[in-house]
Structure 1
Amino acid sequence: MKATENPSRRSFIGKTIALSSTFAITGMAFKPKEQDYKIEEGITVIGPRNGYTPLIGTLVSMLENMTSQVKNTIKDLTIDELDYQFDDNANTIGALILHITSSEKYHQIGTFENRPLNEEELKFWFPARNLSDPSSKSIRGNEIDYYLKIMDDVRKDSLTGLKEKDDAWLLSLDGNLSTPEAPLNKFWRWFHACEHMSNHNGQIKFLKSRLP
């Protein structure tokens, strides 16, 4: 006859396994930058990167992969194509490119410096950040290299800043946007920068497919 397991023993074992898993995950997340395993790097490899803590490195790999997809979408567009507007309510591809980059800049400054964009920064970024504002129509007349350089400059600042941070920082609550009712951490802000890029890359692809 099969012995019946004590319910309290099952509960103890279950809690022990859960606690051990938590320690394992936490230990991996807060591991030092010097890794004891081989890191494979490549645009289609999502995971840790040399010089970054594991979670931050994985975030970097996702940002770089998504950016490569956006660049592949826009790399051959002409000024006329970048400025083409289907109707008065539509955004141009050029404006969307700067909008994507403005989001990364916004979260970059928000998490690294714990502040919103200042007045000087808003002079440049406001039209792209707020596409519903009439000022967004001023984003035109630029070659693709203009947009690619801005993307690269902002990313360079992001990578420099992220290299100085660790996973504990990434997982910590954001001092600007988090509230007791709706906690929000820095990882979410950077994840949002990445998925925001993905969302608008689809929009850009759609507009590109409809260009005359």
Structure 2
Amino acid sequence: MKTFDPALHADSLRSERAYQLQPSLDPAFTPHLGALVEMLTYTRLTTLQAVDDLPEAALWQTAPGFSNSIGTLLAHIAAVERTYHVLSFEGRDVTPEQDGAVYWGLTMGQEGTPPSRLPTLDELRAELAAARAETLRVFATRDDDWLNGPLTGGWANQHWAWFHVMEDEVSHRGQMRLLRQVVAPKENPPGERT
């Protein structure tokens, strides 16, 4: 069985590898899946960079003019990925009854089962990592024919679904960067890429 090899991918934006899309380096993935993995990896690295050194007190703050906190957005990003696990890998819809915790994150706390307490930044990072590990584990068992195939319900294909996971994260990362400027401004060290 093919498996994702983290050594073949960037683990930091300080790595030159983060700025190269080279899907052929990892034999676990077919070409289009490999390119998608490269883009998902870069996107996640930039999301994590946006919350580097974020004070815990700022995690769940909602700034004037914003309806969500950085914590809510991180929980949502993880829940979107978990939602597409259900749609894409299990072939069913997400429901509040069956997937309460995921639904809570997906709806940004409006529906579903809320956690007994709001998670810490480290717990949210761990959930993001766990969701991504599952994505990569399953992707290593699939190929480009699967990627071009239909998503549950036939309204989109698998490739679009996973592109949507990525573009949704990019959108919310932008919101987090704006929120951060209000709740916990961060200075970029000289020479740091943003």
The one-letter code sitting in structure 1 at the alignment partner of 2:22 is: G
**Which structure has the larger Rg?**
1
Q: 1:139–1:78: structure 2 CA closer, same or farther, 3 Å change rule?
A: farther
Partner of 2:18: 43
Deviations 1:75-123, CA, capped at 9 Å, x for gaps:
2112210011125961111010010111111112211111123556522
Q: Any gaps of 5 or more consecutive residues in structure 2?
A: 3-7, 11-16, 185-194
Q: CA deviation at 1:176?
A: 2.4
Partner of 1:171: 148
Counterpart selection for 1:124 from 76, 92, 101: 101
Q: Please say if residues 94 and 140 of structure 1, whose CA atoms lie closer than 8 Å, have aligned partners that are also in contact.
A: no
Partner of 1:196: 168
Matches within 5 A, 1:82-97: 82-87=59-64, 90-97=67-74
The one-letter code sitting in structure 2 at the alignment partner of 1:53 is: T
Q: Any gaps of 5 or more consecutive residues in structure 1?
A: 1-32, 34-38, 179-183
Q: In the aligned structure 2, how far is the partner of 1:204 from the partner of 1:40?
A: 25
The one-letter code sitting in structure 2 at the alignment partner of 1:144 is: L
The one-letter code sitting in structure 2 at the alignment partner of 1:50 is: P
SS in 1 for 2:102: helix
Q: What is the root-mean-square deviation of aligned Cα atoms in Å?
A: 2.7
Q: List structure 1 segments (4+ residues) > 6 angstroms apart after TM superposition.
A: 134-140
Q: CA deviation at 1:46?
A: 1.6
Q: How many residues align?
A: 170
Partner of 1:61: 38
Matches within 5 A, 1:1-212: 42-48=17-23, 49-87=26-64, 90-117=67-94, 122-131=99-108, 133=110, 141-178=118-155, 184-211=156-183
SS in 2 for 1:46: coil
Q: In the aligned structure 1, how far is the partner of 2:169 from the partner of 2:27?
A: 24
Q: Please say if residues 79 and 141 of structure 1, whose CA atoms lie closer than 8 Å, have aligned partners that are also in contact.
A: no
Per the normalisation by structure 2, the TM-score is 0.78
Partner of 1:16: none
Which structure shows the higher helix fraction?
1
Q: Please say if residues 43 and 169 of structure 2, whose CA atoms lie closer than 8 Å, have aligned partners that are also in contact.
A: yes
SS in 2 for 1:64: helix
Q: 1:136–1:109: structure 2 CA closer, same or farther, 3 Å change rule?
A: closer
The one-letter code sitting in structure 2 at the alignment partner of 1:44 is: Y
Q: In the aligned structure 1, how far is the partner of 2:82 from the partner of 2:115?
A: 20
Q: 1:140–1:79: structure 2 CA closer, same or farther, 3 Å change rule?
A: farther
Q: Please say if residues 33 and 143 of structure 2, whose CA atoms lie closer than 8 Å, have aligned partners that are also in contact.
A: yes
